[in-house]
């Protein structure tokens, strides 16, 4: 088990520390952990993600859920932030997601284009910004270039930068796939080397070994894998994604393992809003119970 560092041990500027302190200690469970509600599926996957749960397509319901569920933040694209956040401004922290794309073309070289700026996030009173980095994509030259500009602005404005660090592209597919321990571990380290303040990864699957480097072609428990990923992220605080909807007990177990490994928190989207409001709140209550056991 790793010990999660406190905010004054991870090399933050004053502004980044102020904003992360608010997110981690003034909202949610308030003990230095976090659970975020990402809500950009309407762009990334289209309205099909709300199929069967039409109320999940209305941003007002999701903002209300974020507030009632005691989330530490909600991640929105600029359009929804501009038109829906005002009513909840300051009541639940805003993470402005700065890039995003549709999933209609199937790119061999994925890249998520920027569609909002850090300055706009400041203007909206956001407490963090999000950027999706496609680690391993052949488009990494353009990706790193646009990421650099985002990171510089984030430094300039003292805005915490959360990197959605996603292994993607043909080379990743050929080396164990996007959820392999190798891929997730490398993604966490890449975000850390490039200056993420927080990094969001999927839970690693050490069993996926086809084509991965020798160091990963051994037996690892899930717990060993997630602990290594926390180490690779070092001072970039780790958020573990719920990913596609799975069984509740499996999810809660992953959450426990992540927190035990020294993660800072969770980021759960479809798992939360692809169910009824009350059912969502019940799940969140269970997740909060887990977080409460890991004060920093």
Q: Which of 4, 175, 178, 208 binds a copy of itself (CB under 8 A)?
A: 175
Note whether 16 binds a copy of itself by CB under 8 A: yes
Which residues, numbered 35-54, are part of the site for a copy of itself (CB under 8 A)?
40, 42-43, 46-48, 51-52, 54
d(CA 255, CA 153): 32
d(CA 55, CA 277): 9
Cβ 145 to a copy of itself shortest distance, Å: 6
Which residues, numbered 209-228, are part of the site for a copy of itself (CB under 8 A)?
213-216, 228
Cβ 87 to a copy of itself shortest distance, Å: 8
Which residues, numbered 83-102, are part of the site for a copy of itself (CB under 8 A)?
83-87, 89-91, 94, 100-102
* 140-152 b/e (C-beta count within 10 Å ≥ 16 → b): beebeebbeebbe
Question: Is 200 in the active site?
Answer: yes
Q: Which of 114, 246, 252, 281 binds a copy of itself (CB under 8 A)?
A: 114
Task: Name every residue whose Cβ is closer than 8 Å to that of residue 148 and which is 6 or more positions away in sequence.
Answer: none
Cα–Cα nearest to 172, from 183, 164, 181, 188? 183
| H/E segment holding residue 254 | helix 248-260
Q: Which stretch binds a copy of itself (CB under 8 A): 208-216, 244-252, 262-270, 278-286?
A: 208-216
Check if the beta carbon of residue 73 is closer than 8 Å to that of residue 128.
Answer: yes
Which residues, numbered 134-173, are part of the site for a copy of itself (CB under 8 A)?
135-138, 140-145, 147-148, 151-152, 155-158, 167, 169-172
Cβ 67 to a copy of itself shortest distance, Å: 12
Query: Which one of 16, 97, 175, 200 is the catalytic residue?
Result: 200
For a copy of itself, which is the closer residue by CB, 143 or 291?
Answer: 143
Q: Which stretch binds a copy of itself (CB under 8 A): 179-187, 258-266, 271-279, 280-288?
A: 179-187
Q: Which of 64, 67, 70, 124 binds a copy of itself (CB under 8 A)?
A: 124
Q: Which of 64, 67, 107, 252 binds a copy of itself (CB under 8 A)?
A: 107
Q: Which of 31, 67, 177, 231 binds a copy of itself (CB under 8 A)?
A: 231
Q: Which stretch binds a copy of itself (CB under 8 A): 230-238, 262-270, 272-280, 288-296?
A: 230-238
Q: Which of 64, 67, 125, 223 binds a copy of itself (CB under 8 A)?
A: 125
Query: Which one of 39, 131, 166, 186 is the catalytic residue?
Result: 166
For a copy of itself, which is the closer residue by CB, 102 or 221?
Answer: 102
Task: Name every residue whose Cβ is closer than 8 Å to that of residue 97 and which is 6 or more positions away in sequence.
Answer: 38, 40, 75, 76, 77, 116, 129, 130, 131, 132
Strands 198-202 and 73-76: unpaired
| H/E segment holding residue 34 | strand 34-38
Q: How far apart are the first and last CA of the chain?
A: 14
In total, the chain counts a number of residues equal to 296
User: What is the residue-wise DSSP string for 159-211?
Assistant: --EEEEEEE-SHHHHHTT-TTBHHHHHHHHHHHHHTT-SEEEEEPPBTT--TT
Note whether 191 binds a copy of itself by CB under 8 A: yes
Tell me the catalytic residues.
166, 200
């Amino acid at each position: 088990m790793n010990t999660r560092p406190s905010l004054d041990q991870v090399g933050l500027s004053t502004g980044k520390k102020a904003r992360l302190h608010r997110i981690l200690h003034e909202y949610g469970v308030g003990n230095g952990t976090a659970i975020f509600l990402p809500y950009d599926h309407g762009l990334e996957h289209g309205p099909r993600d709300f199929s069967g749960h039409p109320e999940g397509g209305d941003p007002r319901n999701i903002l209300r859920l974020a507030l009632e569920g005691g989330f530490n933040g909600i991640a929105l694209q600029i359009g929804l932030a501009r038109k829906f956040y005002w009513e909840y401004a300051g009541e639940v922290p805003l993470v402005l997601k700065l890039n995003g794309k549709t999933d209609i073309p199937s790119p061999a070289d994925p890249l998520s284009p920027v569609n909002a700026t850090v300055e706009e996030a400041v203007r909206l009173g956001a407490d963090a910004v999000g950027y999706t980095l496609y680690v391993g994509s052949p488009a990494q030259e353009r990706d790193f270039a646009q990421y650099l500009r985002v990171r510089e602005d984030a430094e300039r404005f003292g805005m915490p930068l959360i990197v959605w660090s996603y292994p993607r592209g043909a080379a990743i597919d050929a080396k164990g796939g996007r959820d392999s321990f190798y891929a997730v571990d490398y993604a966490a380290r890449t975000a850390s080397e490039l200056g993420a303040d927080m990094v969001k990864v999927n839970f690693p699957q050490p069993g996926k070994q086809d084509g991965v480097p020798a160091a990963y072609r051994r037996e690892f428990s899930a717990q060993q894998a997630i602990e290594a990923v926390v180490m690779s992220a070092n001072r970039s605080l780790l958020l573990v994604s719920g990913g596609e909807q799975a069984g509740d007990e499996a999810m809660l177990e992953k959450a426990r393992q992540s927190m035990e490994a020294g993660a800072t928190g969770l980021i759960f989207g479809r798992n939360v809003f692809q169910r009824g409001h009350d059912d969502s709140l019940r799940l969140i209550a269970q997740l909060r119970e887990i977080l409460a056991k890991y004060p920093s």
